[in-house]
Structure 1
Amino acid sequence: MPGRYSKQFVMKDKTPALVAFAKDPQRTAVKTRLSDSFDKKQRDSIYTALLRDTLSNLTELENIATIYLACFPDSDSPFFNKLAEEFGVELISQTGKDLGDRMAFCLEQLLQKHQPVLIFGTDTPLLPLVEIAAAIETCHYDLVLGSAMDGGYYAVGLGGRKSICCYELFRGVKWSTASVMDDTLKNAEALSLKTHTLPPARDIDTGSDIDSILANLASLDEEKRSRMKSFLQTPGILQRG
Structure 2
Amino acid sequence: MIDSPSQGLAPVGAIIFTRYPKPGTTKTRLTPVLGPRGAAWLQEKMTRHTVSQLRAWRKKSGGWLQIRAVGASPKRVQAWLGQDVPVQSQGPGDLGDRLLRAFQEGFAQGVERLVVVGIDCPELDEETIAQALQSLEAADLVLGPATDGGYYLIGLRAMAVKRFTPLFQGIDWGSDRVLSQTLERGQDLGLGVRQLSPLSDVDVPEELGVWQRARYQTQPMISVIIPVLNEAAEIGQTLEEVLTGENLEVIVVDGGSQDKTVEIVQGYGEALSTPLRLLSSPAGRALQCNVGLQAAQGEWVLLLHGDTRVPRGFDVLMREVLRDEGVVAGAFELAVASPAWTLRLVEWGVRWRSRWLQFPYGDQGLFISRQRLLQLGGVPDLPLMEDFELVRRLRHLGKVAIAPVAVVTSARRWERLGVLRVLLLNQLIILSYFLGISPKRLAQWYHRRRG
TM-score when normalising by structure 2:
0.44
Higher RCO structure (Cα 8 Å, ≥6 apart): 1
Give unmatched runs, 5+ long, in structure 2. Answer: 1-7, 220-315, 322-402, 408-451
**Shift of the alpha carbon at 1:74?**
5.6
Q: Secondary structure at the match of 1:26?
A: coil
Is this contact kept in 1: 2:22–2:71, CA < 8 A?
Answer: no
Count how many residue pairs are aligned between Structure 1 and Structure 2.
218
Is this contact kept in 1: 2:202–2:210, CA < 8 A?
Answer: no
**What is the CA–CA distance in structure 1 between the aligned matches of 2:216 and 2:76, rounded to whole Å?**
38
Cα distance 1:158–1:81, how it changes in 2: closer, same or farther (>3 A)? same
**Shift of the alpha carbon at 1:163?**
2.7
2:68 aligned partner, one-letter code: A
Q: Identity of paired residues, percent?
A: 24
**What is the CA–CA distance in structure 2 between the aligned matches of 1:32 and 1:231, rounded to whole Å?**
21
2:116 aligned partner, one-letter code: I
Q: Secondary structure at the match of 1:68?
A: strand
Query: Which residue does the alignment assign to 1:150?
Result: 148
Is this contact kept in 2: 1:107–1:166, CA < 8 A?
Answer: no
Query: Which residue does the alignment assign to 1:8?
Result: none
Query: Which residue does the alignment assign to 1:125?
Result: 122
**Shift of the alpha carbon at 1:80?**
3.3
Write out per-residue CA displacement over residues 6-37 of structure 1, whole angstroms, 9 at most, x where no aligned residue. xxxxxx98521111101122387000001210
2:104 aligned partner, one-letter code: E
Q: 2:217 aligns with which of 216, 220, 238?
A: 220
* Aligned-residue RMSD, C-alpha: 2.9
Write out per-residue CA displacement over residues 171-215 of structure 1, whole angstroms, 9 at most, x where no aligned residue. 11101111000010111011111111111111100101113555x
Query: Which residue does the alignment assign to 2:264?
Result: none
Write out per-residue CA displacement over residues 45-87 of structure 1, whole angstroms, 9 at most, x where no aligned residue. 00000000000011111132111100114643423333132xx
Deviates more, 1:135-144 or 1:176-185: 135-144
2:49 aligned partner, one-letter code: D
**What is the CA–CA distance in structure 2 between the aligned matches of 1:217 and 1:191, rounded to whole Å?**
35
Cα distance 1:179–1:53, how it changes in 2: closer, same or farther (>3 A)? same
Query: Which residue does the alignment assign to 1:226?
Result: none
**What is the CA–CA distance in structure 2 between the aligned matches of 1:232 and 1:201, rounded to whole Å?**
22
Cα distance 1:121–1:231, how it changes in 2: closer, same or farther (>3 A)? farther
Query: Which residue does the alignment assign to 1:58?
Result: 54
Cα distance 1:232–1:196, how it changes in 2: closer, same or farther (>3 A)? farther
Give unmatched runs, 5+ long, in structure 1. Answer: 1-11, 223-228
**Shift of the alpha carbon at 1:168?**
0.8
Q: Where do 1:31-110 residues align within 5 Å?
A: 31-63=27-59, 64=61, 65-73=63-71, 75-85=73-83, 88-110=84-106
Query: Which residue does the alignment assign to 1:141?
Result: 139
Cα distance 1:110–1:75, how it changes in 2: closer, same or farther (>3 A)? farther
Cα distance 1:54–1:191, how it changes in 2: closer, same or farther (>3 A)? same
TM-score when normalising by structure 1:
0.80
Q: 1:114 aligns with which of 111, 130, 134?
A: 111
Q: Where do 1:224-239 residues align within 5 Å?
A: 233=320, 235=403
Matching of residue 21 in structure 1 with residue 108 in structure 2: no
User: Over alpha carbons, which structure has the higher Rg?
Assistant: 2
